[in-house]
Amino acid sequence: MPPTQPQPEQPNPDQPPETEAPPETMLPGAAVPDAFDRLWTPHRMAYIKGEGKPTGPGAHEGCPFCIAPTLQDEDGLIVARGELVYAIMNLYPYNSGHVLICPYRHLADYTELTPDETAEFSDYTTRAITALRTVSGPHGFNIGMNLGTVAGAGIAAHLHQHVVPRWGGDTNFMPVVGRTRVLPQLLADTRKLLADAWPGK
């Protein structure tokens, strides 16, 4: 007896017929997955748009280093206040714990500091290093200032010195290739830790 041939399925009258989905209309290449992950940082738009940047070189033209001392420490991210200078968290840090030492006076050049300002400027740099070592035990530091826009100063009209803690391996593919810095702690939290550990407060 010959084998029975399979019979084709009969359509179900109670089920609507299947229709082939139309091809999606999209721009060429849109929504095509690639090999990259995404790290969304919408807070960086403030930096990109230049929000908070001075409108001019004068002290009353939106200088953030003149405005910060008029605020409460928590609101201005101020770590410590001296008689002539103060320490403040960098709003756009290179590393977690990046501190700036600023004179209260609105001046652009290191040579414009008075002897008393120079002495306290140096003293506050030392205190920043000590506080950072106490709080986070960095392996080293980058310390320095950029005098003039051509030298890389973001806010050239108001002198400020960078105190940047460094750890072995902190320069990895994220800042080098991805142009993104990953910071493990919020600025407000770092500020409080450093303020609490500030020598001679």
Q: What single-letter amino acid sits at 101?
A: I
DSSP, residue by residue, 26-88: --TTTT---S------GGGHHHHTTTT--SSSSTTS--HHHHGGGS-HHHHTEEEE-SSEEEE
Burial class (CB in 10 A: 0-12, 13-18, 19+), 30: exposed
Structure tokens at 167: 């750890």
Among residues 106, 139, 158, 160, the one annotated as catalytic is 160
Q: Which residue has tokens 């702690």?
A: 185
Task: Report whether 128 contacts 99 (CB < 8 A).
Answer: yes
Whether residue 160 lies in the annotated active site: yes
- Report the C-alpha gap between 142 and 166 in whole angstroms: 7
**Torsions phi, psi of 143, nearest 5?**
-130, 130
What is the C-alpha to C-alpha distance for residues 30 and 157, in angstroms, rounded to an integer?
A: 44
Residues annotated as catalytic (active site), given as ranges = 160
